[in-house]
Amino acid sequence: MTGALAPVVPVPVRVRLDEVERRRASRHLLLDGFGPDAQARLASARVLVVGAGGLGSPVLQYLAAAGVGTLGIVDDDVVSPSNLQRQVLHTDADLGERKTASAAAALRALRPDVDVVEHPLRLTSGNAAALLTGYDVVVDACDTFATRYVVGDAAARLGLPVVWGTVLGWDGQVSVWWSAAPDGRALTYRDVFGEQPAEGDSCETAGVLGPACGVVGTTMAVELVKLVTGTGDPALGRLLTYDARTSTWDTVPLVADDEGRAGERAAAAPPVGAAAPGTLVVDVGVEAVVDGGVWVRLDDLVAGRLPDAVLDHPVDAPLVVVCEQGLRSRGAATVLRDDGWRDVRATTYAALAARTGA
């Protein structure tokens, strides 16, 4: 195609396909523009996936099935019941097990000859360079800003491409960062998003549509396959955005943000007084802060385990849900509305203190 950018291939052919692998990959080999060399690059690829959760699950499954030779998995978490709604690598039988071990077992069952390397630890600025060294490509399937910036910075220093994705609520994003990319597409995560902000919403506080993780995760797997094999046009210099409500994708051309996007964490307020008479304050913060309020763990609230004071509160009387930054309270307010309370507001400790004069 005239004007098309030259393919970018970060993985050399290190192995050749035997007959067994050619038969397994036959549907790839039948693709126009793919061929044995592309499949051999997949077999030669050493890919590190950071996160074995909602995004990491479909990424790892499809990369193992596609024929990626070595898959490293970084995750320090264990499987919990709330994971199973979207983290499809894990099952009820894996509850309490390390996610790296559960994921590795599932991948080996899917494709016994895949080389799975478990890294059951948290990626930090202190260990990132050592962990990433030796891999060809990194997949950022994590769920915190802190880890995303560690991954992005370490990969940029090492010149490694990063296939990145995120999903929250109904929405997802996918892109490819590579400090060494040609053709003016050498953007990094920090180039685009600026300085590290405070942690924002998470699946724990805002919820997430399970199948949306599958859509975004499989798109990340497609981007990695294109990048590794030199086929198609990977999302370098482009941000792909997904809206599950309308099942639509949009593409945003990317340029670096010279000013950055610094964020500040709001400090937790000191103990504050409750709101007006007749209003019940439900505190879903990390620990009880509101004098005269009712404290409940967010996980218990979502599970329907509500304090008697909440259950006895009339459904048409005001409820104010409060926490440190307004993230947990917003998710809790959604749950309470769905449970039948009609006048529910979410706020922060600081905002409640300002209104009550505490």
How many domains would you assign to the chain?
A: 2
Cβ-defined contacts of 269-276 (< 8 Å, 24+): 269/348, 269/349, 269/350, 269/352, 269/353, 270/353, 271/358, 272/349, 272/352, 272/353, 272/356, 272/358, 273/353, 273/356, 273/357, 273/358, 274/356, 275/318, 275/320, 275/352, 275/355, 275/356, 276/318
Tell which of 253, 285, 307 closes a domain.
Answer: 253
13 within domain boundaries: no
Q: Looking at the domain assignment, is residue 260 inside a domain?
A: no
Sign for the pseudo-dihedral over CA of 151, 157, 158, 159? positive
Q: Is residue 3 part of a domain?
A: no
- Type of residue found at 222: V
Task: Supply the CATH number for residue 317's domain.
Answer: 3.40.250.10
| Whether residues 323 and 187 fall in one domain | no
Give the model's pLDDT for residue 334.
81
Give the β-pairing of 272-273 and 290-291: parallel
Note the pLDDT of residue 140.
Answer: 96
Helix (H, G, I), strand (E, B) or coil at 323: strand
How far apart are alpha carbons 139 and 59 in whole angstroms? 8
302 within a domain of the structure (yes/no):
yes
Domain boundary among 226, 253, 280: 253
- Are 215 and 325 in a shared domain? no
- 236 and 287 share a domain? no
If asked whether residues 230 and 336 sit together in one domain, one would say no
> Cβ(281)–Cβ(294) under 8 Å?
yes
Q: What confidence score (pLDDT) does residue 83 get? A: 87
The answer on 131 and 25 residing in a single domain is yes
The answer to whether residue 79 scores a pLDDT higher than 90 is: yes
Assign 6 a pLDDT band (cuts: 50, 70, 90).
Answer: low
Residue 3's pLDDT band, with cuts at 50, 70 and 90, is very low
Say yes or no: 216 and 72 in one domain. Answer: yes
- Given 203, 301, 322, 353, the catalytic residue: 203
Q: What is the pLDDT of residue 7?
A: 58
For residue 9, being part of any structural domain is answered with: no
Mean pLDDT of 275-298: 86
Claim to verify: residue 243 and residue 283 sit in the same structural domain: no
Assess if residue 346 is contained within a domain.
yes
pLDDT per residue as tens digits for the range 17-53: 999 999 999 989 988 889 899 999 999 999 999 999 9
Q: What is the CATH number of the domain that holds 24?
A: 3.40.50.720
Instruction: State the pLDDT at residue 283.
Output: 92
Residues 195-251: tens digit of each pLDDT: 776 665 566 666 788 999 999 999 999 999 999 999 989 999 899 999 998 998 988
The mean predicted confidence, pLDDT, of the chain is 85
Pair (315, 189) in one structural domain: no
User: 186 and 331, same structural domain?
Assistant: no
pLDDT of residue 202: 61
**Residue 144 pLDDT greater than 60, yes or no:** yes
Domain of residue 307, residue span: 272-356
Residue 296: CB partners within 8 Å, gap ≥ 6? Answer: 282, 283, 284, 305, 306, 307, 310
Same-domain check for residues 55 and 118:
yes
Length reported for the chain: 358
In a domain, 14, yes or no: no
Q: Which of 63-77, 248-262, 343-357 has the highest mean pLDDT?
A: 63-77
The residue from 59, 68, 240, 323 that is catalytic is 323
The yes-or-no verdict on residue 78 having pLDDT over 90 is yes
The residue from 253, 280, 302 where one domain ends is: 253
Give yes or no: residues 179 and 105 share one domain. yes
Q: Are both 55 and 144 inside the same structural domain?
A: yes
Is 213 designated active site? no
323 is catalytic: yes
- Beta strand 294-295 with 344-348 is unpaired
Q: How far apart are CA 144 and CA 147, in angstroms?
A: 6
In a domain, 246, yes or no: yes
Considering only CA atoms, which of 253, 316, 322 is closest in space to residue 282? 322
How many percent of the chain have pLDDT more than 90? Answer: 56
Half-sphere exposure of 173 (CA within 13 A, CB side): 15
pLDDT band at 270 (very low <50, low <70, confident <90, very high): very low
Q: What b-and-e string marks burial along 22-45, b requiring 16 or more CB atoms within 10 Å of the CB?
A: eebbeebeeeeebeeebbbbbbbb
